[in-house]
C-alpha cells in the first residue's frame, strides 16, 4: 500500500502509516476479523491531510471508496461514540453526524417483527418505499448530551439513536416498510418581518450598532422636522392625559389631523428565524386476507403506541406494570425515524428528514364513505376486519436544517 509521510516539510514515499491520532502503525499487520475497518491518516501529495479507509477480507487490506469507508467506520466497533459523532460531522456537512438511511439491518429483539404492507411487497433495485423505525427520545440537555463539540454539538443528541421495539398487543414491532404515501410533499418556512424605524431610530441603530455615522449626520441635518415630530409626540401624550379624550391618540393622529402628515414608517424587511419542518403522510390499506388484516392492525397500533407518552418515569422503552404506581411523571413519547428508499439506498430525489415527533395519528375506518367489514367468526370472538383503513400521520422534525445540509439529502 503506497502512503506518504511528512519529513521536514517534504513528502516522501514510505511504508509507514499513522492512525487518526498520529500514532505509527504497521500497515502490513493482519486484521483481527473479516470485515474489520481500519481508518488510516496520511498526508497526500498536495500537502493536505485526510483519512483513508481499509477493509480486512481475511487475507489483505482493501482500500474502500471514501464515502463507503466513512459509513462502515461509523458502524464499526472500533470507532468510539465521540469519534462517530465527530467523523460523521466532517463527512455529512459538519452539523452533527446524522446519517441518512435506516439505522441497522439487525433487529434489536429477535421476537420483534418487521412489518410490511402489502404483505407480499418485494423490494428490488427499482422499488420506492418508506422505512419507519422508532427511537428513544434523547433529552438535548440531559446528562448524556454533548453540549460542546462546536459545529456538531447541535445535532449530537440525534447522532446516537437508540432503536426501540414498539409493543402493540399483537407482538413487538421492530420496523415498518410501507409504499410511498399518496400525497408526498414538504415545506420549509422562513420567518421574515417588516419593521418600522423612525428617522431618529434609524440614525441611532446605524451609529451605535452599525458604526455608520453618515446616517446619523444626515438625520441631524433634518433637525427641524425632528423637532416637529417631538412636539407632536409631547402633544399626544398631554392630550391622552386629559379625561374624556380617550387616551389612545398617537403621534400620527396629531400630525395627520393638524398638518396632514404622518411619520415615514421607513419599513425594512428583517429575517427572524426558521421553522421546524412538518410533513404529513397518508396510507390507504386494503387487506386481501385475514393475515394481512392483522398486519394492518399492527401497523396502525405501532404508530398509535409510539405517539403516546408512557405512564411513569421509567422511559418510553421500558413500560412496566410498576409504572402505574408512579403518578408524578409520564415519559416522553418515542420519535420516528423514517427514510424514503429506492432499492437498498436512500432516495436521492426526495428530501430526507431528521428524526421526527409524531404529532398526530388519524385512523379512518370508513375511507370510502361507508362502514363495511369482512365476514368474521363471531363464535370465536373474532369480528371481521374493516374493508379499508386509512392511516394519516403528521410529523414534526426535531431539529432545524441548515443550508449546508441540503447537499447531504435533507
Q: Mean pLDDT: which of 162-166, 350-354, 383-387 is highest?
A: 350-354
Centroid of chain to Cα 83: 21
- The alpha carbon dihedral of 136, 140, 404, 191 has a sign of positive
What pLDDT is attached to residue 292? 93
Average pLDDT over residues 338-356: 92
What pLDDT is attached to residue 267? 82
Average pLDDT over residues 5-27: 40
pLDDT band at 382 (very low <50, low <70, confident <90, very high): confident
Instruction: Enter the pTM of the model.
Output: 0.67
* Rg of the chain in Å (alpha carbons): 31
Reply yes or no on whether the pLDDT at 31 is more than 70.
yes
What pLDDT is attached to residue 77? 56
Q: Mean pLDDT: which of 107-111, 149-153, 298-302, 340-344 is highest?
A: 298-302
- What is the chain's mean pLDDT, rounded? 74
In angstroms, the CA 357 to CA 186 distance is: 15
What pLDDT is attached to residue 378? 64
pLDDT band at 340 (very low <50, low <70, confident <90, very high): very high
Reply yes or no on whether the pLDDT at 226 is more than 90.
no
Centroid of chain to Cα 159: 10
pLDDT band at 392 (very low <50, low <70, confident <90, very high): very high
Reply yes or no on whether the pLDDT at 405 is more than 50.
yes
Cα-based angle 98, 102, 108 (whole degrees, multiple of 5)? 110
In angstroms, the CA 270 to CA 351 distance is: 28
pLDDT band at 81 (very low <50, low <70, confident <90, very high): very low
Q: What is the pLDDT of residues 178-200, one digit of tens each?
A: 999 988 998 999 999 988 876 66
Average pLDDT over residues 63-80: 69
Task: Pick the more confident residue, 95 or 193.
Answer: 193
What pLDDT is attached to residue 375? 82
What pLDDT is attached to residue 272? 92
Average pLDDT over residues 294-322: 80
pLDDT band at 275 (very low <50, low <70, confident <90, very high): very high
Enter the C-alpha cell of residue 391.
392511516
Average pLDDT over residues 146-163: 65
Q: Which residues contact 224 (CB under 8 A, 6 or more apart)?
A: none
Task: Pick the more confident residue, 130 or 5.
Answer: 130
What pLDDT is attached to residue 227? 53
- The alpha carbon dihedral of 316, 144, 114, 292 has a sign of positive
Reply yes or no on whether the pLDDT at 100 is more than 70.
yes
What pLDDT is attached to residue 116? 93
Percentage of the chain lying above the pLDDT 90 cut: 29
Q: Mean pLDDT: which of 38-47, 312-321, 346-355 is highest?
A: 346-355
Average pLDDT over residues 97-102: 67
pLDDT band at 280 (very low <50, low <70, confident <90, very high): very high
Task: Pick the more confident residue, 400 or 312.
Answer: 400
Task: Pick the more confident residue, 21 or 173.
Answer: 173
In angstroms, the CA 344 to CA 127 distance is: 9
Among 9-18, 27-36, 159-168, 343-352, the minimum mean pLDDT is found in 9-18
pLDDT band at 363 (very low <50, low <70, confident <90, very high): very high
What pLDDT is attached to residue 109? 60
Average pLDDT over residues 29-40: 79
Amino acid at each position: 500500500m503506497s502512503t506518504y509521510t511528512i519529513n521536514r516539510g517534504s513528502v516522501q514515499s514510505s511504508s509507514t502509516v499513522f492512525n487518526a491520532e498520529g500514532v505509527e502503525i504497521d500497515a502490513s499487520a493482519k486484521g483481527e476479523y473479516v470485515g474489520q475497518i481500519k481508518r488510516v491518516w496520511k498526508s497526500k501529495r498536495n500537502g493536505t491531510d485526510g483519512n483513508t479507509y481499509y477493509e480486512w477480507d481475511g487475507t489483505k487490506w482493501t482500500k474502500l471508496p471514501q464515502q463507503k469507508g466513512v459509513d462502515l467506520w461509523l458502524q464499526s466497533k472500533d470507532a468510539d461514540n465521540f469519534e462517530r459523532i465527530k467523523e460523521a460531522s466532517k463527512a455529512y456537512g459538519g452539523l452533527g453526524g446524522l446519517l441518512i438511511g435506516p439505522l441497522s439491518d439487525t433487529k434489536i429483539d429477535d421476537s420483534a417483527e418487521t412489518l410490511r404492507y402489502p404483505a407480499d411487497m418485494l423490494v428490488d433495485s427499482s422499488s420506492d418505499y418508506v422505512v419507519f423505525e422508532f427511537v428513544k427520545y434523547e433529552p438535548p440537555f440531559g446528562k448524556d448530551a454533548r453540549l460542546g463539540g462546536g459545529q456538531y454539538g447541535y445535532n449530537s443528541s440525534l447522532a446516537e439513536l437508540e432503536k426501540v421495539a414498539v409493543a402493540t398487543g399483537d407482538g413487538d414491532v421492530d420496523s415498518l416498510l410501507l409504499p410511498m404515501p399518496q400525497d408526498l410533499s414538504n415545506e420549509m418556512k422562513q420567518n421574515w418581518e417588516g419593521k418600522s424605524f423612525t428617522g431618529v431610530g434609524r440614525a441611532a441603530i446605524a451609529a451605535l450598532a452599525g458604526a455608520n455615522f453618515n446616517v446619523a449626520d444626515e438625520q441631524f441635518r433634518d433637525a427641524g422636522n425632528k423637532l416637529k415630530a417631538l412636539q407632536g409626540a409631547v402633544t399626544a401624550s398631554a392630550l391622552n392625559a386629559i379625561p374624556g379624550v380617550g387616551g389612545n391618540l398617537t403621534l400620527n393622529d396629531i400630525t395627520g389631523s393638524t398638518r396632514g402628515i404622518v411619520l415615514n414608517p421607513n419599513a425594512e424587511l428583517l429575517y427572524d428565524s426558521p421553522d421546524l419542518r412538518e410533513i404529513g403522510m397518508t396510507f390507504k390499506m386494503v387487506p386481501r386476507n385475514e393475515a394481512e388484516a392483522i398486519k394492518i392492525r399492527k401497523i396502525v397500533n405501532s404508530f398509535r403506541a409510539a405517539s403516546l407518552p408512557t405512564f411513569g418515569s421509567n422511559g418510553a422503552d421500558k413500560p412496566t406494570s410498576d409504572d402505574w404506581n408512579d403518578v408524578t411523571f409520564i415519559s416522553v413519547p418515542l420519535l420516528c425515524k423514517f427514510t424514503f428508499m429506492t432499492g437498498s439506498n436512500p432516495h436521492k430525489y426526495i428530501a430526507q428528514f431528521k428524526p421526527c415527533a409524531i404529532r398526530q395519528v388519524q385512523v379512518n375506518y370508513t375511507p370510502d364513505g361507508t362502514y363495511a367489514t369482512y365476514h368474521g367468526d363471531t363464535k370465536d370472538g373474532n369480528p371481521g376486519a374493516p374493508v379499508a383503513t386509512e392511516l394519516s400521520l403528521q410529523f414534526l422534525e426535531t431539529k432545524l436544517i441548515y443550508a449546508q445540509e441540503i447537499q447531504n439529502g435533507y
